[in-house]
Amino acid sequence: MKIRMNRLSVRLSLAFLLSAWIGVGAMVLVVQRTLDAGFRQYVTARDSGETNPEQIARLAAYFAASGSWAGAESLLSGRGSGNGAGAAGAGGSAGSGRGATLVVADLDGRVAAATDSTLVGATLSAEALASAIPIQVESEQVGWLSRQSPGIQALGAAEVAFLDEANRWLTAAGLGATGLAVAVGVILAWTLAQPLRELTKAVRDLSVGGLGRQVQLRGTVEIDALAEEFNAMSKALAEAEALRQRMAADIAHELRTPVSVLRGHLEAMLDGVYPLDSAHVAVAHGQAIHLAHLVEDLRVLTLAEAKRLPLERAALDPAAMIAGMLDAFEPLALDAEIRLIRQIAPDLPVISADRTRIQQVLSNLLANALRHTPAGGDIEVSLNPVPSGVRISVNNSGSQLSAEEEARVFQPFWRAEAARERDSGGSGLGLAISREIVALHGGTMTVESGGHRVTFSLTLPTA
């Protein structure tokens, strides 16, 4: 039972029911009070009518003749009938409690005569005096005539039956509204909770390996926002898992190639197929070096992605560092018949960076540009200030990347030309490592392609 009460649909249904009870209960209470009070005023006005001027005149004449209000009760029961017998008959009807209670009070507000003898001697309240009618004899006030509203005992059987019937209908309406509120509340609660149930099922599938699961957006704004975040997370996890599997396969492939070559040469030399000379040992040594570089690149990439790659920051002059790197690559560009163009802005700010790691990034970019630039092409390296620091761009001609290739260029082991890259010794980790190193420095690295040119840009913050 506790589990069922903790469900959102159950709690929403109970909330709708409680709200309905409070609203309907308040409405029924107000309507009953208003109906009862209004109906009593109606009965009072109907039974007592407007004040009879003739009755006021008879009371004034009676006081003028007797000098007191003693015995004035006989004048209060009539409604202007012409004789005493008629007045007495009417008094019998009024005295039964159907009409209003008539009271005659002296100037001090003390009751001297009344249709209800129990009120004689009492003092009228200020509210009663405010609504009382003055009785005057020769322009001099001699008393008050007050009309009191009837109580429940003044209502006849028909009036009481009317109020009871009205109360029954109000109660039935309240019960009907409660039932309708429960039905609507259950439907709305089920509808509101349905997207959450689907999202829960999707999360359960995600936890057992159903990566990439997407849920439909068909709830409230808040639930839709939650579903969008789940869809984005599920898609990102699926892409990360696919990348992990692809990376694991690429690592196995990259490691298998040098290991196979190294093992084959060693076994051939041990079996006497190859002579144990420096040429064949050099081949095995080269594969070992390649294997060591690949393992080191994997180590650096793993540390960088985990934000655990140590950096030895220092204040660096970006112009001097770029000039030194270009001087080192100038002979390689001349051998490849590639023009190396420098565009270095003056008065550049000092940056705070690890010289070795930034040089590693620039070396990867320049080597990548030399590898993809044909003879007769050019590589332009520019260095310019930006509001957040400095921007270094390496732009080479003779190559073009599609939108899909631009999105994947920083993925580990991805190659635009897999066969040529692998033959030339590239592992496909250089750009991935470069972007992570720049990110560790608080910068960004992007790629743009157009007009058979590719531009890699990195922004580094100032010191």
Cβ 388 vs Cβ 438: under 8 Å? no
Residues 329 and 447 in one domain: yes
Q: How many domains does the chain have?
A: 4
pLDDT tens-place string over residues 408-439: 888 887 766 544 444 444 567 889 899 999 99
Distance (Å, whole) CA 218 – CA 207 = 23
14 vs 1, residue with greater confidence: 14
Q: What is the mean pLDDT of residues 203-210?
A: 79
Residues 294 and 262 in one domain: yes
Residues 173 and 291 in one domain: no
Dihedral sign of CA atoms 153, 157, 162, 166 in order: positive
Distance (Å, whole) CA 278 – CA 449 = 45
Could you tell me if residue 212 is inside a domain? no
Residue from 458, 457, 455, 452 nearest 377 by CA: 452
Could you tell me if residue 167 is inside a domain? yes
Residue from 72, 48, 41 nearest 58 by CA: 72
The answer to which of 15-24, 74-83, 227-236, 299-308 has the lowest mean pLDDT is: 74-83
Give residue 373's pLDDT band: very low, low, confident or very high (50, 70, 90).
very high
Identify the H or E element spanning 433: helix 430-440
The answer, yes or no, to whether residue 272 has pLDDT greater than 90, is no
Residue after which a domain boundary falls, among 142, 167, 200: 200
Give residue 321's pLDDT band: very low, low, confident or very high (50, 70, 90).
very high
pLDDT tens-place string over residues 251-263: 787 788 788 888 8
Residues 251 and 380 in one domain: no
First-to-last C-alpha distance (Å) of the chain: 63
Distance (Å, whole) CA 251 – CA 112 = 116
- What pLDDT is attached to residue 301? 84
The answer, yes or no, to whether residue 223 has pLDDT greater than 60, is yes
Residues 325 and 449 in one domain: yes
- Per 3-state DSSP, the chain is made up of helix, strand and coil in percentages (nearest 5) of 60, 15, 25
- DSSP letters along 273-285, please? SS--SHHHHHHHH
Quickly count: other Cβ atoms within 10 Å of residue 395's Cβ: 18
Distance (Å, whole) CA 144 – CA 60 = 10
Q: What's the CATH number where 338 sits?
A: 3.30.565.10
Q: Which parts of 115-238 are beta strand (E)?
A: 133-137, 140-148
The answer, yes or no, to whether residue 207 has pLDDT greater than 80, is no
- What pLDDT is attached to residue 11? 67
Residue from 274, 297, 307 nearest 363 by CA: 297
For residue 84, which amino acid is it?
G
Cβ 244 vs Cβ 225: under 8 Å? no
The answer, yes or no, to whether residue 336 has pLDDT greater than 50, is yes
Residues 242 and 339 in one domain: no
Q: What is the mean pLDDT of residues 299-303?
A: 86
Residues 438 and 329 in one domain: yes
Residues 271 and 369 in one domain: no
Distance (Å, whole) CA 397 – CA 374 = 8
Helix or strand or coil: residue 79?
Answer: coil
Distance (Å, whole) CA 308 – CA 78 = 107
Q: Which domain holds residue 114?
A: 49-154
Q: SS3 for 85-147, per residue?
A: HHHHHHHHHHHCCCCCEEEEECCCCEEEEECCHHHCCCECCHHHHHHCEEEEECCEEEEEEEE
Give residue 199's pLDDT band: very low, low, confident or very high (50, 70, 90).
confident
Residues 6+ apart with CB under 8 A from 26: none
Could you tell me if residue 208 is inside a domain? no
Could you tell me if residue 211 is inside a domain? no
Could you tell me if residue 206 is inside a domain? no
How far does CA 463 lie from the centroid of its chain?
40
Percent share of the chain, pLDDT over 70 = 83
Distance (Å, whole) CA 202 – CA 377 = 53
Could you tell me if residue 351 is inside a domain? yes
Dig out the tokens for 3 from the structure.
């589990």
398 vs 420, residue with greater confidence: 398
Instruction: Classify residue 429 by its DSSP letter.
Output: -
Q: What is the pTM of this model?
A: 0.52
pLDDT tens-place string over residues 62-98: 888 888 888 888 787 654 333 333 333 333 333 344 4
Could you tell me if residue 210 is inside a domain? no
- What pLDDT is attached to residue 2? 46
Distance (Å, whole) CA 199 – CA 321 = 53
Could you tell me if residue 343 is inside a domain? yes
Residues 143 and 273 in one domain: no
Residues 457 and 370 in one domain: yes
Residue after which a domain boundary falls, among 269, 304, 339: 304
**Which residues make beta-bridge pairs with 147?**
102
Residues 248 and 336 in one domain: no
Q: What's the CATH number where 280 sits?
A: 1.10.287.130
Residue from 121, 83, 87 nearest 103 by CA: 121
Helix or strand or coil: residue 166?
Answer: helix
Tokens 């190859």 correspond to: 274
Cα angle, residue 201 at apex, residues 196 and 207 outer, rounded to 5°: 125
Residues 338 and 424 in one domain: yes
